[in-house]
Structure 1
Amino acid sequence: MKKLFAVLGDPIGHSMSPSMHNDLLSLYQIDAHYHPFKVSKEELHTAVSGLKAIGISGFNVTVPHKSSIIPFLDEIDPLALSIGAVNTVVNENGKLIGYNTDGYGFLKGLHAYIISLSDKKVLVIGAGGAARAIYFTMAKMKPQVIDIANRTIDKAVDLIEACPFDTSSKALSLEEAGEQLAEYDIVIQTTMIGMKPNISEMPISLKYLKPQSLVCDIIYNPLETQFLREAKQKGATIQNGIDMFVYQGALAFEKWTGIFPDVKRMRENVLKLLEA
């Protein structure tokens, strides 16, 4: 019987996951199909129950359901529970188990640039869901410092206090972060500032950016945000959001199939979709 995988979200028409995963299923000759389902908040419980009833093998979860799906699953991985969000669900013998591969996906992409975080000072810009996944997962790796800058400092404080791992962190305003930017080896932009159509916007000033730093932006449309463009002009190494997107998908695929897929092929697939 053909296996079914899926992604649940609203909206969902823009998702590149079906193309990426169906290509992998074909590549590894797995008799399965990956399908996008538009599911409203009101229909989420019904949708999850229906997918479980038909024996779905696994599915991804995207906006706006990453947190609200948690009560409808049988088990939650401890890291996903601490993050408070699920992006990958695996059906294990009839039990739907939720995981979060966003943070590990980001770290996997980071490995091409950084071998160890133990001596690094990190700044995370933003305190939303993506920042939470990256911050909690990175905190497990114990960097020297990992600070949070956000428009609302209270949210940054809440994020730091909620982290289950011991780490050296402080909350900063965006203005403070800009003034102290020379202190950081890695700067990670996790907000939607700079995404199309508002491509000229930036979350903080890069006036004091250290030239040898690594600057990451989880946005991948455009491929090079104004934030990354200015960082590159100042001599920094830059990374856009494609690596995080590809690796979080690769980790989900591995959980479903036991196969860690060809990430180079996945990246090329995503680039073609963005170009189109």
Structure 2
Amino acid sequence: MITGTTKNLGVMGWPIVHSLSPVLQNAALAQAGLDYVYLSLPVRPDHLSTAVAGLKALQFRGWNVTIPHKTTIMSLLDDVDEDARIIGAVNTVVNDSGRLSGYNTDVTGFVQALQHRSFLLDGCRAVLFGAGGAARAVIWGLLKSGAASVCIGVRNPDKASALETVFRPYGSIEILHWETESFQSALREADLLVNTTPLGMTPHTEAMPPVNWEQVPAHALIYDIIYTPAETRFLREARLRGHVTINGEEMLAGQGAAAFEKWTGVCPDTALMRRKLREALSQQD
């Protein structure tokens, strides 16, 4: 029940009607018995500063941030933590008595899914497809966790070269065209293969990155950060070849759970959040 004591949370973006965060967060809040409500907050890009000031004035406890505001909101905050600063994007804001702090919990969501499977990140050799915004959280999560190397396969290495400048101080990173022999060599040594591109996402479910499965070691774990469909062609082909696979559901629920804990101080039921996510996605199908 919403009362005069109910605390406000939300997710801001433009557009925002597609967001499933309210489904996950409100289910977790109800399960935890917390007097909060989580709302969708449609904010046009040219209204961002006004919206941030308004949420602060309305004493929102915090909010998530999605496209197109993840980078532009950083200059409007009082503090930005190391993860968000290095990645160059904020997806969670916490309001502590008017002081706004920005975080990036995508890192936590990505890494926790691997930790839940007892995957050893320290010393692993990781290969990624894609160098867009989603890749930055994945790269930082790997390097921060001690990955021995991160090789990124892309269509246009020149366009992606800025990532090397950002992340090279923190570990071994290499950007290659994904059709070169050098990239195939990296595939042969991969412990972890991650798709951070939108290739294979609904409705284009037959698309996938150009992976030569004959080059991928049998022990390599295959991770696709896409969560719709639940099993992309990339993951299906990996599974049929005997690889352990992870889709993007755990990353999405995990980043939401990390934000939830920052706002409330309570660790939510992440299994419930994943279940509600899958139910919502199945209704969309």
Q: What TM-score range do you get, normalising by the shorter chain?
A: over 0.9
Are positions 1:33 and 2:40 aligned together? no
Are positions 1:258 and 2:262 aligned together? no
- Report the TM-score, using the length of structure 2 for normalisation: 0.93
> Which among 61, 75, 82 is matched to residue 79 of structure 2?
75
In structure 1, distance between residues paired with 2:122 and 2:24: 33
In structure 2, distance between residues paired with 1:160 and 1:58: 33
Q: Is the 8 A contact 2:224 2:247 kept in 1?
A: yes
Q: The residue matched to 2:179 in structure 1 has which SS? A: helix
In structure 1, distance between residues paired with 2:159 and 2:130: 9
135-144 vs 98-107, which deviates more?
135-144
Superposed displacement of residue 165, structure 1: 4.6
Q: Is the 8 A contact 2:160 2:175 kept in 1?
A: yes
1:221 matched to which residue of 2?
228
CA 1:198 to 1:178, structure 2 compared with 1: closer, same or farther past 3 Å? Answer: farther
4+ long deviations beyond 6 Å: none
Are positions 1:187 and 2:200 aligned together? no
Write the deviation string for residues 111-163 of structure 1: whole angstroms up to 9, x where unpaired: 12244222311012111111111111221111121111222212443212202
Superposed displacement of residue 249, structure 1: 0.3
Q: The residue matched to 1:69 in structure 2 has which SS? A: helix
> Which among 24, 28, 36 is matched to residue 24 of structure 1?
28
Structure 1: runs of 5+ lacking an equivalent: none
In structure 1, distance between residues paired with 2:237 and 2:105: 29
Q: Counterpart amino acid of 1:93?
A: S
Q: The residue matched to 1:122 in structure 2 has which SS? A: strand
Superposed displacement of residue 206, structure 1: 2.9
Aligned-residue RMSD, C-alpha: 1.4
Identity %: 41
Write the deviation string for residues 166-205 of structure 1: whole angstroms up to 9, x where unpaired: 3122111111334642210101111111101111111222
Superposed displacement of residue 72, structure 1: 1.4
Q: Is the 8 A contact 2:79 2:100 kept in 1?
A: yes
Q: Is the 8 A contact 2:27 2:272 kept in 1?
A: no
2:162 matched to which residue of 1?
158
Superposed displacement of residue 244, structure 1: 0.3
1:205 matched to which residue of 2?
211
CA 1:83 to 1:148, structure 2 compared with 1: closer, same or farther past 3 Å? Answer: same
Q: Is the 8 A contact 1:136 1:164 kept in 2?
A: no
Q: The residue matched to 1:36 in structure 2 has which SS? A: strand
Are positions 1:131 and 2:138 aligned together? no
> What are the residue-to-residue correspondences of 1:87-98 with 2, within 5 Å?
87-98=91-102
In structure 1, distance between residues paired with 2:186 and 2:37: 49
Aligned length: 276
Q: Counterpart amino acid of 1:77?
A: D
Structure 2: runs of 5+ lacking an equivalent: none
- Report the TM-score, using the length of structure 1 for normalisation: 0.96
**Higher relative contact order, chain-length normalized (CA < 8 Å, sep 6+):** 2
